[in-house]
Amino acid sequence: MREIVFDTETTGFEPGEGHRIVEIGLVELEDHFPTGRSKQFYLNPERDVPIESQRVHGLSTEFLSDKPLFAHIVDEFLEFVGDAVLVIHNAGFDMKFINAELSRLGRPTLAMARTVDTIEIAKRKIPGARYSLDELCKRFSIDLTARSKHGALLDAELTAQVYLELVGGRQRGLALAPVEAAAHAGPEENNRARQRPVPLASRLTEEEAARHAAFVASQLGDKPIWKLAEA
């Protein structure tokens, strides 16, 4: 199963008020395992970036002035996303912005039904906890030292780690210890008898073997059940 962990940075809170995307970060997962593929787009929002937003993500109007428009990267963005499930922390926010950009270009919007919201998973798994990305990273001991400011690609990478912790998929990247490997092996592999290359020599003396045979005969007669199985 292919999933794309997705995050955006914006000039404000509402696209309906003229706010735009300034950064998109995408991280690819395959069967709950990071593939190493990612995308990052800085975008010219075609408007000034309010100082309040700059304090959050550090992206200034000047820095973004020579970056491509969303229209210039939309095909690359859609090709990378494909038909993958979109994993997002607070999906409603990012989806309203990306769909506003797509609508502005007359492109089909992305369905909310294809999203997985890590906040909603966290509410089910750890009720009563704090659900900000920072708080969930701290809960799962995920390194936050690089997050002095928000960044779409960095936050997508952190969201991917949180998501894998929430769904129990992070362990897939670990090598199994021998006992765990045996537990995960198929029934045929676990039940297959292993033969020694050279059989061990019997530690019974001839006298002990004779006494044992005499005891069995005295208790079970000369036709014990295992003799019937050998017949």
Active site residues: 150
Q: How far is CA 211 from the centre of its chain?
A: 63
Torsional sign, CA 195, 198, 203, 204: positive
Asked whether the beta carbons of 156 and 80 are under 8 A apart, the reply is no
* 213 SS3 class: helix
- DSSP E strand boundaries for 56-160: 85-88, 115-117
Phi, psi at 36, each rounded to 5°: 95, -10
Pairwise CA distance, residues 195 & 176, whole Å: 24
Distance CA 231, CA 226 (A): 9
